[in-house]
Amino acid sequence: MSRIREKAAEFQDAKRVMKMGLYPYFRSIESEQGQTVIMDGKEVVMMGSNNYLGLTNHPEVKAAAKEAIDRYGTGCAGSRFLNGTLSIHQECEEKLAEFMGTEAAIVFSTGFMTNQGSIPYLVPRDGSLFLDHADHASIIDGARLGHGKVVKFRHRDMEDLEKKLRLSNSSIKLIVVDGIFSMEGDIAPLPELVEVAKRYDAEVLLDDAHSIGVLGKTGRGTASHFGLENEILGTVGTFSKSFASIGGFFAGPEDVAHFLKHHSRPFIFSASPPPANMAAVIKSIEIIDREPERIVQLHQRTKYLVHALQDAGFSIHDHGTPIIPVYVRDTMLVFKACMRLQEEGVFVNPVISPAVEPHNDLIRLSVMSSLTEEHLDFAVDKLIKVGRELGFLGDDGKDAVAVANGQAEREE
């Protein structure tokens, strides 16, 4: 056996969990991602999708994608740099720039690739990148690809950021943060962050993967939410959530977009996104603008779920976003909870270290505007049942994890 195969064979952790029947990844869904999905022939309430505005199965979005296939075919057979730029790519970029209120936008083939194709090329060898400790993996990997120095600051800690900016003598300083942090749903303190950045001649790049279609009255994201659109360098985002497709984009000044088009290796050397993807994004933007009530309903459903979980005894923080963490703080218990909830008819996502800090293992709930109060009530009932069964919700209706943590603090 080769050394590479020996190294691969040493990894047995996932197989051990599989044998226990608790493996919560790569679960097969047999239907479109609506309010409910079909798994193993059974209907399950979807509480783990990033389809925040319910557009992935919207008939107009599906029709637009089909029409694009009829006109352009299924693929582009090349990169944007050469033969792979279709008129629908340019139309999508124009729509995105208009939607985001920026001079320009460029489209990447995936959201992950957007950070890999933007961050390394914005900061030179004598520059520095400042990343929040809770930044998404794509931001971290994008930063690693570049030649600039990478500096991490404590999560949402502006004093720590300022201290590290003060010590930097880099020619270019770029702060990159999630607008909504993807694992626990809290929002970047953008007003304070912008203020600190100005004091040290730094610029801010926002990753609004989970903020587009969620924050701001019109779903324009975190900068719009705080009224700071003109105070940041730009925004990167994804199509795989509110835009009902796959791909990603950078939106910002025209000269920065032009620079990336001619320097970003992931952009230049990757095949273009399929035309159907672009059509889905264009139609999603049209629907978001036409039906702002979808965003209103998303926040109404989120508040409803937060209050229901709090009333049930769970220690839930209301960050005002549709990502709601239920802390279990034990990896195997998270796996058990996810599989038991699926058996009970609710799909949720497990989040464990290193996606969160050690002992912050959690069940992540994601709200969609299309979910009804009946769906949410059903999910809460099942969470109560499984929480009591597995011990992370006490029989007295109190969050057992929160109670245990409070007891430990008192003992210290």
Helix (H, G, I), strand (E, B) or coil at 317: coil
Question: Which residues have a Cβ under 8 Å from the Cβ of 132 and sit 6 or more positions away?
Answer: 152, 153, 155, 156, 177, 178, 181, 188
Structure tokens at 260: 């990336």
Looking at the chain, how many residues does it have? 412
Q: What are phi and psi of 13, to 5 degrees?
A: -55, -50
Helix residue ranges, H only, 123-169: 137-145, 158-166
Structure tokens at 245: 């497709």
DSSP string, 335-354: HHHHHHHHHHTEE-EEE-TT
Structure tokens at 224: 């719009």
Which is catalytic among the residues 58, 62, 136, 241?
Answer: 241
Give the number of other CB atoms < 10 A from CB of residue 111. Answer: 22
Tell me which residue of 21, 48, 14 sits closest to 345, measured CA to CA. 48
How far is it, in rounded angstroms, from Cα 140 to Cα 138? 5
Considering only the C-alpha atoms of the chain, give the largest distance between any 2 of them, rounded to a whole number of Å.
Answer: 68
Helix (H, G, I), strand (E, B) or coil at 322: coil
Sign of the CA dihedral running 261, 264, 270, 276: negative
101 touches 229 (CB < 8 A) = yes
Which is catalytic among the residues 49, 138, 170, 182?
Answer: 182
Our answer to whether residue 241 is catalytic in this structure is: yes
Our answer to whether residue 182 is catalytic in this structure is: yes
Which is catalytic among the residues 210, 225, 336, 375?
Answer: 210
Structure tokens at 278: 């672009």
Helix (H, G, I), strand (E, B) or coil at 19: helix
How far is it, in rounded angstroms, from Cα 407 to Cα 412? 9
How far is it, in rounded angstroms, from Cα 120 to Cα 24? 33
Burial of residue 86 (CB within 10 Å: 0-12, 13-18, 19+) is buried
Our answer to whether residue 210 is catalytic in this structure is: yes
Instruction: Give the single-character DSSP code of 62.
Output: H
Active site residues: 182, 210, 241
